[in-house]
Structure 1
Amino acid sequence: MQSFMLGAYWDARRDTLDTCVEKAARFFAGMAEIDPLLAQWYEKGRSRKDALTKKVDILDRKRLEELLLKGRNRTDVGREIIDDLGFSIRLWNGASQEEAEATVGIHCGCYSERVGNNVIIDLPCQSESSPWVSKASSLLALVAETWRPKWAGIMSERAMRERDFSSHPFVDWMVYVPRPIAAVPSPGRIETLDGLGSIIVVQPDPPLGADSEEASRIRQVERLLAA
């Protein structure tokens, strides 16, 4: 069973703390609607038992604000806040089974030209109510609508290890770009997000990484996005 992650990336953007809290609140609420495994979150702890005592109320915006402030970067000497590196938060879903585990990390409000912003979700290998194949594009759309990234994708950890992840946007199972896309190779499809761009679903099922036709489709989409 392959592990997949969602990654969304954007350049320097000086979002305020209030803006980051607002977006994070909408994002967590949206994830909860997509799948029960993404509906509850915990702070990381010294151990699994410790983390399970640190449940986060995702509806409490004051709590989200505290966590984003807690995640600010500080200097090694003097522990002074580095303002241009923005805010961050990283949570775990507390699942009791390994295949149901998920983590989410948000780095927003960073306006350093050397460091970008991102949202990273390590996805569970299963869904409680239906397969991830039917939910992944909804999650990608939520990320695009909430965070307005430069690009975002859902990709296997295997693909990231074996191919050049420095080439962006990285194409594997699904990829979002903030522009219209007219057509993609069959059996891929395009989901148009009104005013926001396009999600390209390269193929209906998650790629296995060992099929020549699958690799050919990925290369075709890469060329399409590079044009």
Structure 2
Amino acid sequence: MWEGYYVGAYWGPRKETALECARRAELFFHMLARCDPSFVQWYRAGRGFPRELPGHPVRPEMTELEKLLLRGRPRTDISKKVIEDMGFRQTMWNAKKEATDIRLSCGGYSPWGGPNSCLLKPPREGAVRERLLRMPVLAEVLTSMVTAWDPDFAMVSSTEMVNLVEKGDFEVRVGCLTYLSRRLGTVPPLPAPVRIEPLGTLGWLLVLSSELMTASNPEHVAFTLRVRELLDRAGLIERPKPPPASE
């Protein structure tokens, strides 16, 4: 069964300027370029780009990334006024066909606007997909995200697996690779073959398996649910809910 794998990093409200987010993005893209040759050049949408290219080339430099993020500020539908507390959003890709997509949402500080996030989705098919969906490469990508964005948590999984494991609207998601910030609390003992490795001074990387776990494998699903349960008992899964909008 085909599964939609992705690497995702998420963090709560964090007020940052476009320049501060661009500084993080610059570090992320420089680290990402070392993970795979296909991650060296990225493109964005816009009119007037050469037809032979996937879009306008993006230089992963702070000044250009700042301008790009400023163009991606959410606005109101009618007056097109910038919604300041929603931060900055942008999407990039690296090819016309069999592209890897990156979606950034950063600098948001509204408690009702959803989490800030950095998502990387490999191609749907092809040789690049097969190369990227190897655990060492996925671990490097996740490490790049964590180092640059300092999220509350990050994970490698598929949409299908998340649908089977996740219990709430928004909670810490558990995948075959799961990162938990020290801000969340202390990681409890977990059953073999889980490995708990420090990721610098930021938090812990939980390696649930040496291979990519699939939603079509009942054992993979059951084990991921078991790890989620233990983390939930330790208070690491539930995320704080925003206060009512009227307050």
Cα deviation per residue 1:100-132 (whole Å; 9 max; x = unaligned)?
Answer: x21001111111111121111112463686762
Q: Distance in 2 between the 1:107 and 1:199 partners? A: 23
Aligned-partner SS, 2:226: helix
Match of 2:58 in 1: 56
Assess if the C-alpha contact under 8 Å between 1:90 and 1:106 holds in 2: yes
| CA 1:71–1:206: 2 relative to 1, 3 Å | same
Distance 1:153 1:168, change over 3 A: same
Match of 2:179 in 1: 176
Following superposition, the deviation at residue 184 of structure 1 comes to: 2.8
For 1:98-137, list aligned pairs within 5 A. Answer: 98=98, 101-115=99-113, 116-124=115-123, 126=128, 132-137=134-139
Taking the aligned partners of 2:148 and 2:35, their CA distance within structure 1 comes to: 14
8 A Cα contact 2:196 2:205, kept in partner: yes
* Partner SS, residue 34 of structure 1: coil
1:91 pairs with 2:92: yes
Which residue is equivalent to 1:207? 213
Q: Is 1:23 aligned to residue 24 of structure 2?
A: yes
2: CA distance between counterparts of 1:79 and 1:53? Answer: 25
Percent identity, aligned pairs only, is 29
**Equivalent-residue separation in structure 1 for 2:162 and 2:44 (angstroms):** 27
Partner Cα distance (2:51, 2:161) in 1:
33
Partner residue of 2:200 out of 194, 204, 214: 194
Contact map agreement 2:157 2:175 (CA 8 A) in 1? yes
Write the letter of the residue equivalent to 1:94.
Answer: A
CA distance in 1, matches of 2:121, 2:225: 24
> Contact between 1:44 and 1:51, CA under 8 Å: does it hold in 2?
no
Go from structure 1 to structure 2 and tell me whether the alpha carbon gap of 1:225 and 1:167 turns closer, same or farther (over 3 Å shift): farther
Distance 1:55 1:128, change over 3 A: farther
Q: How many positions carry a matched residue from both structures?
A: 223
State yes or no: 1:38 paired with 2:36.
no
Segment drifting more, 107-116 vs 207-216: 207-216
C-alpha distance in 2, partners of 1:216/1:75?
A: 43
List gaps (5 residues or longer) in structure 2: 235-247
Equivalence map 1:135-154=2 (5 Å): 135-154=137-156
Unaligned runs of 5+ in 1: none
Residues 5 and 155 in structure 1, CA contact (< 8 A), matched pair in contact too: yes
Instruction: Decide which moves more: 187-196 or 33-42.
Output: 187-196
Matched residue, 1:216: 222
Q: What is the CA deviation profile of residues 25-53 of structure 1, one whole-angstrom value per residue up to 9, with x for unaligned ones?
A: 00111100111122211113589947624
In structure 2, C-alpha distance between the alignment counterparts of 1:114 and 1:50, rounded to whole Å:
41
